[in-house]
Amino acid sequence: MLQDPTKEGRFGEFGGRFVPETLVPACMELEAAFKDAWADSLFRTELNDLLRDYVGRPSIITECHNLGAQLGIRLLLKREDLNHTGSHKINNVLGQVLLAKRMGKKRIVAETGAGQHGVASATAAALLGLECKVYMGEVDVKRQALNVFRMRLLGAEVVPAMSGSRTLKDAVNEAMRDWVASVESTYYAIGSVMGPHPYPWIVRTFQSVIGDEARVQCRDLLNGEDPDVVVACVGGGSNAIGIFSGFVDTDARLIGVEPAGGAAVGRGVPGVVHGMRSYLMQDEYGQVQEAHSISAGLDYPGVGPEHSHLASIGRAEYPSVTDAEVIEGFQLLSRTEGIIPALECAHAVAWISREAKSMQGKTVLMNLSGRGDKDVAQMMDILGPTL
């Protein structure tokens, strides 16, 4: 299993808590509250009951017989797309909103890119009786209109972020500003393994249910063996760290697939953004560069600090794929298996398809972290004339 951070919130040289002085007490309060909750069997039981009875866990493993045969590998999918709300995000959000209630907070704020974390946040807030405000880049509001409507239907206020590139990075900025101004009554439910300590640790802990389940499921399916390769897409990196957590102490290769236009590990350098030290796309003057991805959920110039640590010690690899490869991967899984993946997950499909010749006969486990319903309108504009 993955190691806990140091008391300073570090994973190797990465992580930490780079926030204004006004937020240091809030971060320390959150760390203490999380440790107390995670040690409380009643909290754990309530969360596990919700994951089972509301989310539908454990999520299943599906073997892709058609695509696996075509590529010459044994391909297994961890089906987080089958969760209530359609992605892995609900695992983390239910834990954080339960924690917010335990801390006496009355409202939550969240950021979202593709909208899945926003939908999960709005869902958990509706279920557990908290107010919810979601910040979303104006560009993403337009390309993910379905998820915007879902959030509003669930009772959340959706606020477009109008600054910068008007995408995920800017939504995070706005959510953090809100939290600074209203910290006494507000809980900031971060959606990925990013931000100041203790957030990367909290989110990884809640998402580790993916890897815990997958390890047991794979060993049952593979006669006690582990997969040879474990693959997931990476933006901030919560779905990837979730599944990696179950296999980091095995011999499996860990592959986190980044978008070519947002390859924070692949072409970034260490820097500080959103309260953490991590690999970050920045120019020679230390200014954050704009990321690009066909997928709103991966449109982020940094990556979670634990991923930066895994890359720095050589335990995980972080290749990238192009938008064109992603479009092909999106169609490939749809046509061979009848499963439409989220564009985020199509990055992992694209890498597997591209690298299959070097993995002949291997067993590959991919985290299918979300379904593609949210991306259909966008892909209709791209593919419509050709289909």
Show which residues are catalytic: 64, 88
C-alpha 206/C-alpha 337 separation (Å) is 29
Q: Kindly state the greatest CA–CA separation across the chain.
A: 56
Locate 275 and state its tokens.
């309260």
Burial of 253 (C-beta count, 10 Å sphere; 0-12/13-18/19+) = middle
Burial of 73 (C-beta count, 10 Å sphere; 0-12/13-18/19+) = buried
The strands making up 107-112's β-sheet, listed across from edge to edge, are 157-161, 131-137, 107-112, 186-188
C-alpha 16/C-alpha 309 separation (Å) is 12
C-alpha 266/C-alpha 91 separation (Å) is 28
**Is-cis flag, bond preceding 58, omega within 30?**
yes
In this structure, is the dihedral angle defined by the CA atoms of residues 236, 242, 243 and 245, taken in order, positive or negative?
Answer: positive
CB half-sphere exposure, 56, CA atoms < 13 A? 13
- Cβ neighbours for 28, distance < 8 A, ≥ 6 positions apart: none
- Cβ neighbours for 166, distance < 8 A, ≥ 6 positions apart: 137, 138, 139, 140, 160
For 353-362, b/e burial (b = at least 16 CB within 10 A) is bbbbeebeee
| Helix, strand, coil tally for the chain in percent (to 5) | 50, 20, 30
